[in-house]
Amino acid sequence: MKITDLRIMRGPNFWSVEHPKIIVLKLDLEELADTLTHEVPGFATRLKRLLPEMYAHRAAAGVEGGFFRSVEEGTTFAHVVQHIALELQTQAGMESGYGRCYMAHEQGTHFVIFSYQEERAGEYAAHAALRITEALINGEKYKLDEDIDRLHQIREDEYFGPSTYSIVSEAQSRNIPYIRLNRHSLIQLGYGVNQKRIQATMTCGTACFAVEIAGDKNATKELLDEAGIPVPNGTTVYDQEELKRAVDRLGYPLVLKPLDGNHGKGATINITNWKDALKGLAAAQKYSEAVLVERYIQGFDFRLLVINKKFVAAAKRTLCHGHR
């Protein structure tokens, strides 16, 4: 078997309007074109042993165990590839339940259609499903955990942050489709003339002026302070000498972070001695020459989402372990 074409659909398409996010494989079954699953000794047993969770797949029968029944009675290996691709994504935490198989015009060639949540995961699942199917046909052992781990890593790499997730979830609740345009949370909501784009909490309607202010931590603090909102005491430093003066004036514990960084990159918190302060300066200056030094304030960390001057969501951020 071999994949002769792989296409990623990102919107309403020839194959489905209801399921806009699908992978379309053109699969040449080659020497297996005239062979069905029940004609390969032990295939159904090996499939059940490797992927027992696929008992939940209903297939055309519409009941649990329906897919396994079709394998025992005889179905195409294109159908098997489709269901394994869906199951791999599901086991990696990406529920993907839509799939179809259609014969192509060329003899022995099928179109395999299945849904995805993340593009890279869907593409990886397609190739992995083919490898697994061939291993089962040949009676070879297969390390399924490696594929699940890889898919899970892709999911973690592509997973939305709390703000983006809140917006996308709300869009889905209103039947507004979304497409992820890159790996940096650039999202398109809707299609055609009605489409809008967001990146984290910024939209295509966000003014550049607002972005510039939000990207400058000092400017943001000054505006908040002038508005009567409490902010931690701090200053900006560029070298060890200025850091020493800041430590003498502010005292410990401290926080050091890049002046124009984001996502917590280069930030060090709860600094209580000079040695750690120097390490924090070095870490922050990997991202910005200017480093913000502030008093460390203990408490809860919340991220609030406001849309059209209305508070709509909050996320409590917690550390995975320890204080750093």
Choice between 207 and 56, residue whose per-residue pLDDT is larger: 56
Whether the predicted pLDDT of 163 surpasses 80? no
What percentage of the chain exceeds 90 in pLDDT?
Answer: 57
Query: What's domain 210-301's architecture?
Result: 2-Layer Sandwich (3.30)
Query: What mean pLDDT comes out for the span 223-243?
Result: 90
In this predicted structure, what is the pLDDT of residue 320?
60
Query: What mean pLDDT comes out for the span 239-254?
Result: 94
Q: Where are the domains of the chain?
A: 2-158, 162-206, 210-301
Choice between 140 and 162, residue whose per-residue pLDDT is larger: 140
Cβ atoms of 196 and 206 closer than 8 Å: no
Whether the predicted pLDDT of 17 surpasses 90? no
Range among 153-157, 164-168, 182-186, 268-272 with highest mean pLDDT value:
268-272
Query: What mean pLDDT comes out for the span 207-215?
Result: 81
Q: Can you give the pTM of this predicted structure?
A: 0.63
